[in-house]
Chains A and B, each alone.
Chain A
Amino acid sequence: MKMLRVRAVARKEFIHIIRDPRSLGMAIAMPMLMLVLFGYALTLDVDRVPLVVWDQSGSHVSREFISRFSGSRYFSVRSYVSRYQELEGAIDTGRALVALVVPRDFAGRVESGRTAQVQLIVDGSDSNTATIAMGYAQAIAQTYSQEVVLRQIQRAGGRTLVMPLDLRPRVWFNTELESKNYIVPGLIAVIMMVIAALLTSLTVAREWERGTMEQLISTPIEGKELILGKLIPYFCIGMLDVLIAVLMGQFLFHIPLRGSVPLLFLMSAIFLAGTLSLGMFISIVSKSQLLATQLAMVLTFLPSFLLSGFMYAIVNMPKPLQLITHVIPARYFVALLKGIYLKGVGLEILGFDAGLLAVFSVVMATLANRKFKKKLE
């Protein structure tokens, strides 16, 4: 392997990239766009759930109960209805996600110490929002119910006015439970996968398609020199993207970075080398840009987005899929990123993940080298 030849290929590739400023601009703007979207706009947190109320009781007791909902920041009362059809219409059109029905005998039952039932109808289409909204409603109803029971005990002559059990929740690592603290670190892995998919997967296929591969074959260059030379420029772009992402996370979104920064960049470099080799491998195997594009989508973007634990926790997946995630390198990288960012742990705990990441990079680089044949077919 001659460094001179590697340098020549790298220079050629750099010129290719610079000559197409739009693609380069997009390669740098894409991570920013994703970070801004995930940091500002996208959240799985649920509040101000639109609610319609059908108050059949119409008493001060029922109004007090309903005020617990309208006063909470989790619900916002959109309208009061007085017929079933109106309620149905509100949910069908999506104007409301939740409907609360307070029955006619509500006040009487509460006051006479009998059990009163309240109905809650939820639009279950979005199961996540529905589950969380139901949880909020349950909590409000339970608190109200406990107050009613406490009042009865007091009336019956008991002295207890305190709740028997007090739940003290404490959240570690992401104290405010902000979804951006959870998403932004993992996003770095996704961004790098996308860059690898978009940029490298086309680079060898393009040479084949345009016929310039023939010219390369006639030169004395070796396979590994070509691959290495082609990887260097994209590696630089990828690391630049990581830097941008880390800086934006730090200064724009104030994501706590508790662990070691050099470790973060070292791990990123290892992961990037692996994904770029994967992109290169796809490019070498497919030889057509259209096919490479499609393969890159399925092999890099989708798994790193869905199977890495970036947004959807791996423990909640079915067992066979959990096994599959073990061969997805992004999984280890996402674990590393979250560990370094939120928990501030180092290699003593993350060593295993880091080792597997290195193995992945070496395997991918070897595969790309093996598959590349300097021959016309």
Chain B
Amino acid sequence: MFERIRHMLRKEFIQALRDPRMKSTIFLIPTIQVLVFGYVVTTDVRHVTTAVYDLDNSVTTRDLVSRFVESGYFDTVEYISTDGREVDLMDRGDVQAVLRMNKGFEDDLRAGRTVQLQVIVDGTDSNTARIVLDYSAKIASQFSQEVLQERFTRLQGAVAQPGQVELETRAWFNENLESRNFYVPGVISMLVMLVTLILTSNAVVREKEIGTMEQIMVTPITPREFILGKTIPFALIAFIDVMVVTIIGVFWFGVPIRGNLLLLFFATALYVMTGLGVGLLISTISRTQQQAMMSTFFFFLPAQLLSGFMFPIANMPRVIQWLTFLDPLRYFLVIIRSIFLKGVGLNVLWPNFVALAIMGQVTLWLATRRFRKTLV
């Protein structure tokens, strides 16, 4: 048995690596993906291009504007002096926000009346807009607080300060709230699934499409040996990808690893089984590589989007949340993120491991069963 698997493995490796371009894609794809995700996927908002429409043009309004600039979040690109210019700027997308203060701002404030600061935000990108509004609210609130304090001091004498409630925030696990600490480990889940799915399903279907499957069927090889021979090389490639991503993540992006690396590899092994199982299942229902690829994508795309990789599961509708329990990526993502950032172990993560193990076994079992039928 091992003799035959060995021959099969040799054939597969030769086939996979015969094309030198294929060899480089195996390493290139994970590298490109990690770099792109590490740099691109950031939801941190900074340098919001801002136009200022200051009709009062007083010391107070200039002070307020400078607070926006000094916060580091807003970059003033233009001071508007004519009505209607802000519409033009927003339409072109030259600015994302406009600050507008009416005439009499300073006088009203002195007289103890409420003054208005208008913030117009481009809502096209709703997420960014929300964060911009948040920043503005914070700055406006701070300004109000200071005015109030001044009034209080005037009433109470020089030293008195009103008591306030301060919120001291602290972020655990990702102290500086860097997006890449969240996304880079997540790339592993995506890559491993993609690589195992594409390579397995294509490799098997290719034999059918080119017609070499018949040659294999006349050899004494059994379905189990055939499956093992087909899947082992891709499992190895998946592990190499995990290492490439981990190394780049840790040494290039400085993502912390707080948990146990061995546990990470153990989880990967369970997860790879699921990927190979699904890949084989796809290959049993596809005749051409085109079909295999379409089916792979049809499984992978929803699985990836519903895994919580980019969109938090907690925000999804109830029914969809239940659906995500069928998604192997979901469990693996929890495991890798926890191992990287939280440093927790099996005592917290065991339900996810159990779920992955069950999924791996079930898909592989189904695939082998179906495979015998289609092969014979």
Complex CA–CA separation, A148 to B167 (angstroms):
14
Kindly list 8 other residue pairs between chains A and B, CB separation below 8 angstroms, not including A290-B22, A349-B91.
Answer: A113-B162, A116-B165, A165-B114, A177-B126, A181-B126, A198-B293, A297-B198, A302-B36
Contact code string A20-42 (vs B, CB < 8 Å = 1, else 0): 10110011011001100110111
Within 8 Å CB of A181, what residues of B? Answer: 126
Say whether B225 faces chain A, with CB atoms less than 8 Å apart: no
Contact segment of A225-233, A240-248, A263-271, A337-345? A337-345
Within 8 Å CB of B305, what residues of A? Answer: 37-38, 41-42
Q: Once the chains bind, are B297 and A198 in contact (CB under 8 Å)?
A: yes
Q: Looking across the interface, which residue of chain A has its beta carbon closest to that of B33?
A: A302
CB-defined A-B contacts under 8 Å, sample of 14: A30-B301, A46-B315, A94-B334, A115-B166, A124-B173, A125-B174, A127-B179, A149-B164, A166-B116, A172-B123, A181-B126, A210-B209, A288-B19, A311-B310
Which among A149, A172, A289, A290 is the interface contact of B148 at CB below 8 angstroms? A149
**In which size bucket is the chain A interface?**
35 or more
Say whether A315 faces chain B, with CB atoms less than 8 Å apart: yes
Within 8 Å CB of B297, what residues of A? Answer: 26, 30, 194, 198
B interface, over-half SS: helix
Q: With A121-B170, A162-B113, A298-B28 as given contacts, are A110 and B165 in contact (CB-CB < 8 Å)?
A: yes
Q: With A45-B126, A128-B179, A343-B124 as given contacts, are A92 and B168 in contact (CB-CB < 8 Å)?
A: no
Say whether A224 faces chain B, with CB atoms less than 8 Å apart: no
Q: Once the chains bind, are A122 and B40 in contact (CB under 8 Å)?
A: no
Q: With A127-B182, A141-B165, A290-B289 as given contacts, are A169 and B40 in contact (CB-CB < 8 Å)?
A: no
Say whether A164 faces chain B, with CB atoms less than 8 Å apart: yes
Complex CA–CA separation, A347 to B179 (angstroms):
36
Within 8 Å CB of A41, what residues of B? Answer: 305-306, 311, 316-317, 320
Q: How far is the CB of A168 from chain B (nearest CB, A)?
A: 5
Q: Looking across the interface, which residue of chain A has its beta carbon closest to that of B157?
A: A156
Contact segment of B130-138, B241-249, B366-374? B130-138
Within 8 Å CB of B348, what residues of A? Answer: 92-93
Q: Once the chains bind, are B155 and A158 in contact (CB under 8 Å)?
A: yes
Contact code string B133-165 (vs A, CB < 8 Å = 1, else 0): 110111011011101110110011000011111
Within 8 Å CB of A349, what residues of B? Answer: 91-92
Say whether B265 faces chain A, with CB atoms less than 8 Å apart: no
Q: Once the chains bind, are A65 and B165 in contact (CB under 8 Å)?
A: yes
Q: Once the chains bind, are A120 and B170 in contact (CB under 8 Å)?
A: yes
Q: With A114-B163, A167-B137, A317-B40 as given contacts, are A158 and B151 in contact (CB-CB < 8 Å)?
A: yes
Q: Once the chains bind, are A112 and B163 in contact (CB under 8 Å)?
A: yes
Q: Looking across the interface, which residue of chain B has its beta carbon closest to that of A293?
A: B293
Within 8 Å CB of A168, what residues of B? Answer: 116-119
Within 8 Å CB of B42, what residues of A? Answer: 312, 316-317
Q: Once the chains bind, are A298 and B155 in contact (CB under 8 Å)?
A: no
Q: How far is the CB of A101 from chain B (nearest CB, A)?
A: 9
- Top 4 A-B residue pairs of the complex, sorted by shortest distance between their CB atoms: A124-B171, A174-B123, A124-B174, A141-B167
Q: Once the chains bind, are A148 and B182 in contact (CB under 8 Å)?
A: no
Q: Once the chains bind, are A92 and B138 in contact (CB under 8 Å)?
A: no
Say whether B25 faces chain A, with CB atoms less than 8 Å apart: yes
Complex CA–CA separation, A163 to B151 (angstroms):
12
Which among A113, A175, A312 is the interface contact of B41 at CB below 8 angstroms? A312
Say whether A117 faces chain B, with CB atoms less than 8 Å apart: yes
Contact segment of B5-13, B215-223, B337-345, B353-361? B337-345
Within 8 Å CB of A20, what residues of B? Answer: 288, 290-291
**How many A-B residue pairs lie within 8 Å, measured between CB atoms?**
381
Within 8 Å CB of B114, what residues of A? Answer: 162-166
Q: Looking across the interface, which residue of chain A has its beta carbon closest to that of B29?
A: A298
Q: How far is the CB of A187 from chain B (nearest CB, A)?
A: 11
Within 8 Å CB of B82, what residues of A? Answer: none
Q: How far is the CB of A139 from chain B (nearest CB, A)?
A: 6
Complex CA–CA separation, A342 to B126 (angstroms):
12
Contact code string B98-140 (vs A, CB < 8 Å = 1, else 0): 0000000000010011111111111111111111011011101
Q: Once the chains bind, are A153 and B162 in contact (CB under 8 Å)?
A: yes
Q: With A40-B317, A165-B144, A312-B43 as given contacts, are A149 and B36 in contact (CB-CB < 8 Å)?
A: no
Say whether B206 faces chain A, with CB atoms less than 8 Å apart: yes
Complex CA–CA separation, A338 to B90 (angstroms):
13
Q: Once the chains bind, are B145 and A170 in contact (CB under 8 Å)?
A: no
Say whether A371 faces chain B, with CB atoms less than 8 Å apart: no
Say whether B295 faces chain A, with CB atoms less than 8 Å apart: yes
Contact segment of A6-14, A130-138, A362-370? A130-138
Q: Once the chains bind, are A127 and B177 in contact (CB under 8 Å)?
A: yes
Say whether B266 faces chain A, with CB atoms less than 8 Å apart: no
Say whether B45 faces chain A, with CB atoms less than 8 Å apart: yes
Within 8 Å CB of A141, what residues of B? Answer: 165-167
Within 8 Å CB of A291, what residues of B? Answer: 19, 21-22, 25
Complex CA–CA separation, A278 to B116 (angstroms):
52
Complex CA–CA separation, A153 to B297 (angstroms):
64
Complex CA–CA separation, A311 to B40 (angstroms):
10
Within 8 Å CB of A134, what residues of B? Answer: 169, 171
Say whether A4 faces chain B, with CB atoms less than 8 Å apart: no
Q: Once the chains bind, are B314 and A48 in contact (CB under 8 Å)?
A: yes
Say whether A253 faces chain B, with CB atoms less than 8 Å apart: no
Q: Looking across the interface, which residue of chain B has its beta carbon closest to that of A91?
A: B172
Q: Once the chains bind, are B175 and A124 in contact (CB under 8 Å)?
A: yes
Contact code string A54-66 (vs B, CB < 8 Å = 1, else 0): 0000000000010
Say whether B236 faces chain A, with CB atoms less than 8 Å apart: no
Say whether A44 faces chain B, with CB atoms less than 8 Å apart: yes
Q: Which B residues, 283 to 303, have Cβ-Cβ distances below 8 Å to chain A?
A: 288-291, 293-295, 297-298, 301-302
Q: Once the chains bind, are A132 and B130 in contact (CB under 8 Å)?
A: yes
Within 8 Å CB of B19, what residues of A? Answer: 288, 291
Within 8 Å CB of B301, what residues of A? Answer: 30, 33-34
Q: How far is the CB of B62 from chain A (nearest CB, A)?
A: 15
Complex CA–CA separation, A178 to B305 (angstroms):
18
Q: Once the chains bind, are A313 and B125 in contact (CB under 8 Å)?
A: yes
Within 8 Å CB of B33, what residues of A? Answer: 298, 302
Q: Once the chains bind, are A164 and B144 in contact (CB under 8 Å)?
A: yes
Q: Once the chains bind, are B91 and A343 in contact (CB under 8 Å)?
A: yes
Q: Once the chains bind, are B120 and A125 in contact (CB under 8 Å)?
A: no
Contact code string A187-213 (vs B, CB < 8 Å = 1, else 0): 000000010001100100010011000
Within 8 Å CB of B44, what residues of A? Answer: 127, 131, 316
Q: Once the chains bind, are B167 and A137 in contact (CB under 8 Å)?
A: yes
Within 8 Å CB of A40, what residues of B? Answer: 317, 320
Say whether A109 faces chain B, with CB atoms less than 8 Å apart: yes
Say whether A152 faces chain B, with CB atoms less than 8 Å apart: yes
